[in-house]
Amino acid sequence: MPKKYHIEAKAAAPRHTPIGRHGIVDFNEDCAGACHHCVKKECIYDIYRKEGIFTREMPGELHYLYSCMNCLRCVQNCTRAVVTRTVNPEFRWLGDAYWKPEMLLTTWYQAETGKIPVSGAGYRGPFAGPGFDNMWTDMSEIVRPTRDGIHGREYISTSVDVGAKLTELSFDERGQLAVAPPPVLELPVPFVLGIPHFGDWSPGAYEAFARAAQAIRTLCVIDPGLVTPNLEPYRAALAPAVSGATISRHRDAIAGARLVQLEYDDAFAANVAAIKLIAPGAVVTVRAPIDADSHLLAERLVAAGVESITFAANHHGRSGAFGGGEFIKESFRRIHAHLMAKGVRDTVTLIASGGIALAEHMAKAIICGADLVVVDIPFLIALECRMCMNCTLGRPCPVDVAGTPPEHGARRITNLASAWHSQLLEVLGAMGLREVRRLRGEYGRAMFQEDLERETFQALFAGKRAKGQ
């Protein structure tokens, strides 16, 4: 058994007070003053006392709104009923329609602690929703054993291979391999880091990404034009993203790379050949925007010998620039099924990019047919980004992402990756799968809402009259 892959997590506190969901408000003018019920008795989490220390000594940032556990004891037992709770308006402003405030909160928590978010009292979200929220992963029971990977009792592999695989081997008369296997890159986790299209970037922030990629032993896909000398020590963890026009300019970056991302254009075959000339051992992934014809493009690229394709959706996981278009989940199911039908699926590695916001999205994208995913914005959120988009308007970043010390930033990114890795193990363990490679395209280990609705409610109720009141 190989040594178990493990991502080390170590607590890394935020540099700025994160935005919490709720705020406790008290109307001091009616406060009884001396009862101190809230401080001494009611707050079992000791937040009121810490607030007192803060107001007296001003030791640093006040993590007050962030750390309230919402038990409402102070509200319900205040002797004068002057304490109340409200939703923090800033919380509502976080993120956007896809990147929900709760996603930012849970990502911050994971980046800080490296732990899996755990809570009680059942699931509290909507029944289902758009995007990845209308599919469920399967679990095994009685007749199909699960895997006990979470507590380390059984080994579950999260490694994936990037590159083309031969469909068969051939040997010469001396029994020697007669074909040259194409280069294959093995990554211990089914994701690579990407650089989001927005952000308050600085060489330090890029360095945090590169350092983290190295620590996780995966890669960071980055435009070589952004690589500054401080990223040199992490060069092995960088995957240059180039286009046909920039290949010659970035010869040095390509030369040492294990994975090169090439922007798709009509001359892709010649461009791939040019890259292979510089770096014969590198895997080249051709990146194309995802659209309704992606499955046909995939077929064409595979026929031309492309060993990996990155299909990129926008940051809401949809094709098309402004939110519309098909969701990446549907697109990948179609692409995967098409390549399966053509019998060429295993000769290419598919990478999904765009809209991967939570650990479950990684697993679900893989179920839908991707081999691995590009994770970009969550790692920027790990650097405390609030998705306010000030950076795109030329305004200052409220949390100064650019000023993040690289080591600290890398720590938070690594923590998030560690939590995602653990959650992937949970999902795989529950499904009874021993490795993430077997998850790819495993529709049978997933349940899609449209199928369940059709089989149950539609079958039971469609066309039936609602009588009575």
By CB under 8 A, is residue 85 in contact with another protein?
A: yes
Strand-pair category, 349-353 with 372-375: parallel
CB of 175 to another protein, least distance (A): 41
Residue type, 145: P
310 vs 418, which CB is nearer to another protein? 418
Figure out which of the listed residues 45, 54, 155, 198 binds another protein, where binding follows CB under 8 A. Answer: 45
Tell which positions 308-367 bind another protein, by CB under 8 A: 358-360, 363-364
Stretch that binds another protein, among 3-11, 58-66, 78-86, 368-376 (CB under 8 A): 78-86
Q: Select 56 or 124, whichever has its Cβ closest to another protein.
A: 124
Q: Shortest gap between Cβ of 365 and another protein (angstroms)?
A: 13
Which residues in 7-36 contact another protein (CB under 8 A)?
22, 25
Contact 116, 423 (CB under 8 A): yes
Q: Does residue 171 interact with another protein by CB under 8 A?
A: no
Q: How far apart are CA 163 and CA 205, in angstroms?
A: 29
Candidates 261-269, 321-329, 406-414, 451-459 — which segment interacts with another protein by CB under 8 A?
451-459
Q: Which residues contact 261 (CB under 8 A, 6 or more apart)?
A: 221, 239, 240, 241, 242, 284, 285, 286, 287, 310
When binding is defined by CB under 8 A, the residue of 9, 205, 239, 431 that contacts another protein is 431
Residues that contact another protein, how many (by CB under 8 A): 80
Exactly one of 274, 430, 436, 439 binds another protein (CB under 8 A); which one? 430
Contact segment (CB under 8 A) with another protein among 331-339, 348-356, 403-411, 453-461 equals: 453-461
Instruction: Quote the least distance from Cβ 237 to another protein, whole Å.
Output: 27
Nearer CB in complex with another protein: 31/344: 31
- In angstroms, what is the minimal distance from the CB of 295 to another protein? 26
Q: In which region does residue 373 sit, left (phi positive, over 0), alpha (psi from -120 to 50) or beta (all else)?
A: beta
- Compare residues 60 and 120 and give the one whose CB is closer to another protein: 120
Q: What are phi and psi of 24, to 5 degrees?
A: -95, 130
Region from 64-72, 219-227, 293-301, 404-412 binding another protein, contact rule CB under 8 A: 64-72
CB of 242 to another protein, least distance (A): 36
Partners of residue 263 on adjacent β-strands: 287
Site for another protein in 223-252 (CB under 8 A): none
- State which residue, 71 or 236, has the beta carbon closest to another protein: 71
| Number of neighbours of residue 114 by Cβ within 10 angstroms | 23
218 near 237, Cβ under 8 Å?
Answer: yes
Is residue 446 within 8 Å of residue 138, measured between CB atoms?
yes
Residue number with CB closer to another protein (93 or 457): 457
With binding defined as CB under 8 A, does residue 97 bind another protein? no
Whole-number Å distance between alpha carbons of 238 and 370: 21
214 contacts 193 by C-beta, under 8 angstroms? no
* Residues 248-257: contacts with CB under 8 Å, at least 24 apart: 248/274, 250/224, 250/225, 251/278, 252/224, 253/224, 253/227, 254/224, 254/278, 254/279, 254/282, 255/279, 257/282
Distances (CA, A) of 89 to 16, 85, 92, 162: 18, 12, 5, 44
Question: Does the footprint of another protein cover residue 447 (CB under 8 A)?
Answer: yes
Residue of 208, 429, 439, 440 interacting with another protein (CB under 8 A): 429
Strands 220-222, 446-448: parallel, antiparallel or unpaired by DSSP?
unpaired
Q: Which of residues 105-164 bind another protein (CB under 8 A)?
A: 106, 116-129, 136-146, 148, 150-151, 153
Which helix (H) or strand (E) covers residue 270, if one does? helix 268-278
CB 237 within 8 A of CB 249: no
Element (H, E) at 455: none
Please report the DSSP string for 101-112 in residue order.
Answer: HHHHHHHHHHHH
**Residue 273 near another protein by CB under 8 A:** no
Residue (77 or 228) nearer to another protein, CB: 77
Tell me the C-alpha to C-alpha distance, in Å, between residue 287 and each of 58, 218, 275: 51, 18, 14
Q: Considering only residues 362-401, where is the footprint of another protein by CB under 8 A? A: 363-364
> Could you say whether residue 174 binds another protein (CB under 8 A)?
no
Nearer to another protein, 176 or 469 (CB): 469
Q: Pick the binder of another protein from 39, 62, 72, 226 (CB under 8 A).
A: 72
Beta bridge partners of 157: 435
Please identify, among the stretches 255-263, 271-279, 409-417, 419-427, the one whose residues bind another protein according to the rule CB under 8 A: 419-427
| Site membership for another protein, residue 432 (CB under 8 A) | yes
- Which helix (H) or strand (E) segment holds residue 237: the answer is none
Q: How far is the CB of 213 from another protein (least distance, A)?
A: 23
84 vs 230, which CB is nearer to another protein?
84
**Residue 76 interacts with another protein (CB under 8 A)?**
yes
